[in-house]
Chains A and B, each alone.
Chain A
């Protein structure tokens, strides 16, 4: 019954035009970035290496598919949560807004399973969005720009990774990026359980992400105790796979924090949906 309900929920997601906005926007954004890099990527490279250009010269194919994929990920990780929330924020509240929540609750399936099936259907959508991101950013970029070593720009300097040492890093970083986006999905589903319309959960999710990101980026000691527990702090942990050596304990910590967030948020959504008055 749960599987059938997951299937139904996923069909509902596919039937909504807004589900394609995310994929369309992602495609457009990546195409714009690819065009910009093809047209004037050298100025970007010069910006990356400018701190060393007085004394050092960088030779080789710096502007390659691996670097473009990294740039795309860096740029889009801020925007993709909106595309995820656009769909997942509507999963429960959309039923309430359309008045179908009563019919849904009369099905021979518990409310807990309804929320879980919605969460899993949202996760599948998020996974498809992440896969599309992988395809466009990594494979299309490599097709257009070719492969090569990757220069990673950190606030502490440059890390140059060998071409043959990159693909596994992308593979693992995409898994962590998916987990980050899944957390965004859980946040919006949680808000969705409290709301009666679609806009509220989407806006609230984005507001929380913006607020937490600002708190995380402020180097003020008063926030340093809170920062490790904000999910936005760990949303960029995919980047850690491009450090040398890879800080596995730090990444593992981020994964735990994100998983705990998912469990707590879905539990809150289940609790709220079970207590929801659908008769009035």
Chain B
């Protein structure tokens, strides 16, 4: 009888945690979906092992549900996952279940950890951990694991567009596999450097991409022609 009572209490507790998580996530999703479209100026700083690139300025366009375009004079490197696709995934509320993971202090901010598990076996997302500011209903940090891109950690910083849940700065931390290119392919046959035996083979490294966003223009309508490939 005691066991049954304990199990019932445990089930009620888990259900209430899940409900709280869903309610908080619903508030986050409501903010996300309130933005029908936006354009924003971006300054992208890339610090990735094996790639040397200077900071780049670009213009980013987004339109619900998943139209995304980046326009720049130069070459821009972005993370494959974690930019707008997380929001698109969260918008489909039937495609995942949310589990409360407790609270965690990030800096001086108390955040709620919500683990998002997709319900479909074929989903590109495997798991998403979201650290959410319950007061403002915005994501403060996330850890997204996908089938093709591995794990991406993203830190979100907000300023003027907090009401829309749009960040002013994003910091992506990505796993970069060891770059391997035969010298003959790179036509770099005379570049000889003695091998560093202390380094492990196939050692993965972390890459950081920092995107500073400013001058948001929100819900003013964006022509679909902008998203067409040139």
Q: Which residues of chain B have a CB within 8 Å of any CB of chain A?
A: 48-54, 58, 70, 72-81, 148-150, 152, 174-177, 179-193, 207
Alpha-carbon distance between A173 and B49 when the two chains are bound, in angstroms: 26
Residues of B within 8 A of A55 (CB): 79-81, 149-150, 152, 174-177, 207
Query: Looking at the complex, which one of A159, A160, A213 makes contact with B189 (CB distance below 8 Å)?
Result: A213
Tell me if B79 and A160 are in contact (CB < 8 A).
no
Known: A157-B51, A158-B51, A217-B184. A59 touches B75 (CB 8 A): yes
Beta-carbon contacts under 8 Å, A234-267 to B: 234, 236, 239, 244
Alpha-carbon distance between A54 and B80 when the two chains are bound, in angstroms: 7
B68 CB, nearest partner CB in chain A, Å: 10
Query: Looking at the complex, which one of B53, B148, B174, B183 makes contact with A155 (CB distance below 8 Å)?
Result: B183
Q: Given A61-B75, A236-B188, 15 other A-B contacts at CB below 8 A?
A: A54-B80, A55-B174, A55-B175, A55-B176, A56-B48, A56-B78, A56-B207, A59-B70, A59-B77, A59-B78, A156-B191, A157-B52, A217-B184, A227-B190, A236-B189
Tell me if B53 and A160 are in contact (CB < 8 A).
yes
Residues of B within 8 A of A52 (CB): 48, 50-51, 176, 179
Tell me if B75 and A60 are in contact (CB < 8 A).
yes
Known: A54-B148, A163-B73, A233-B190. A156 touches B50 (CB 8 A): yes
Query: Looking at the complex, which one of B54, B183, B188 makes contact with A162 (CB distance below 8 Å)?
Result: B54
Query: Looking at the complex, which one of B75, B177, B183, B193 makes contact with A217 (CB distance below 8 Å)?
Result: B183
Contact with B along A146-167 (1 / 0, CB 8 A): 0011010111111110110000
Tell me if A54 and B76 are in contact (CB < 8 A).
no
Alpha-carbon distance between A244 and B180 when the two chains are bound, in angstroms: 19
Beta-carbon contacts under 8 Å, A125-156 to B: 148-149, 151, 153-156
Tell me if B48 and A155 are in contact (CB < 8 A).
no
Q: List the A residue with the shortest CB-CB distance to B209.
A: A56
Nearest 10 CB-CB pairings of A with B: A157-B50, A160-B53, A60-B75, A217-B189, A74-B187, A149-B74, A149-B75, A59-B76, A155-B188, A155-B183
Tell me if B184 and A153 are in contact (CB < 8 A).
no
Tell me if B70 and A160 are in contact (CB < 8 A).
no
Tell me if A160 and B149 are in contact (CB < 8 A).
no
Is the C-beta of A216 less than 8 angstroms from some C-beta in chain B?
Answer: yes
Is the C-beta of A279 less than 8 angstroms from some C-beta in chain B?
Answer: no
Is the C-beta of A51 less than 8 angstroms from some C-beta in chain B?
Answer: yes
Q: What's the dominant secondary structure at chain A's contact region? A: mixed
Contact with B along A40-77 (1 / 0, CB 8 A): 00000000000111111111111000000000001101
Tell me if A236 and B77 are in contact (CB < 8 A).
no
Residues of B within 8 A of A51 (CB): 50, 177, 179-181
Is the C-beta of A8 less than 8 angstroms from some C-beta in chain B?
Answer: no
Q: 21 pairs across A/B with beta carbons < 8 Å? A: A51-B180, A55-B81, A55-B174, A55-B175, A55-B176, A56-B78, A57-B78, A58-B75, A58-B76, A60-B76, A61-B75, A62-B75, A75-B187, A157-B49, A160-B53, A160-B54, A163-B73, A224-B192, A227-B190, A227-B192, A244-B52
Query: Looking at the complex, which one of B54, B58, B70, B149 makes contact with A54 (CB distance below 8 Å)?
Result: B149
Is the C-beta of A219 less than 8 angstroms from some C-beta in chain B?
Answer: yes
Alpha-carbon distance between A74 and B187 when the two chains are bound, in angstroms: 6
Q: List the A residue with the shortest CB-CB distance to B50.
A: A157
Residues of A within 8 A of B70 (CB): 59
A146 CB, nearest partner CB in chain B, Å: 11
Residues of B within 8 A of A75 (CB): 187
Alpha-carbon distance between A194 and B185 when the two chains are bound, in angstroms: 37
